[in-house]
Structure 1
């Protein structure tokens, strides 16, 4: 399954570069097949405006979401993922801090394998 991502500071981009899965930035094109979205949380737990706009045209193909955040924000840590999952009725696969650790990448890859197996 393809992964689309949004990255403001480069943290999400660094995370997806560690994955062994095809990824595309949401700025590149619209989705043409089911995908998993990886995004960041903006401000005080908000969904980034660029992601909201992109999801208006592409949200119907999203199958799951993962999100980067910063634990310093307490309850707002990775909250964009919670909001997107709730609004679009998709599972939240993972929250990871900043660019994620090697363990976060391992967990994400494992969850993607399980998720893709379940959805096929």
Structure 2
């Protein structure tokens, strides 16, 4: 779906260790938050307020919504809060994969935050889902995370 996805080879993938852990961002709408609550994994939320922060000291997969206007408008696809979180080297270094949500109405910019972050962090884009996700998305992501951690 995205022309600029960087394929991460098996040699480049750093498999996570420890407990399955998801770090996520959700806006005031709480769409991503409601989705995360359906997953059966440990999770940490990136604060909405830019002056607040969290620090992560274990492997995790990042789940983020995509902000963009669609078409050629990809600027701002990654939420500012996610950028701030990842600007901390320690937080960035523990990221092992990315999952993104988006709106298919935006065509080829659907869930664009995923490919952008995957390429920037050199981690695999594990999955993309639309808006609130479906029960099938919940099951698929639980399966992907379990397999990714080797559990």
- Give the deviation of 1:2 after TM superposition: 1.2
The separation in 2 between residues aligned to 1:12 and 1:51, in whole angstroms, is: 13
Gaps spanning 5+ residues in structure 1: where?
none
Higher CA-based Rg: 2
Normalization by structure 2: what TM-score? 0.75
Of 15, 34, 39 in structure 2, the residue corresponding to residue 14 of structure 1 is: 34
Paired residue total: 118
For residues 1-120 of structure 1, the aligned pairs below 5 Å read 1-8=20-27, 9-27=29-47, 29-44=54-69, 45=74, 46-57=77-88, 58-117=91-150
The separation in 2 between residues aligned to 1:83 and 1:50, in whole angstroms, is: 15
Q: Which runs of 4+ in 1 moved over 6 A?
A: none
Gaps spanning 5+ residues in structure 2: where?
1-19, 48-52
- Say what the alpha-carbon RMSD is for the aligned residues: 1.3
- Give the deviation of 1:55 after TM superposition: 0.5
> Which deviates the most, 95-104 or 27-36?
27-36
The separation in 2 between residues aligned to 1:61 and 1:26, in whole angstroms, is: 14
Task: Indicate the SS of the match to 1:63.
Answer: strand
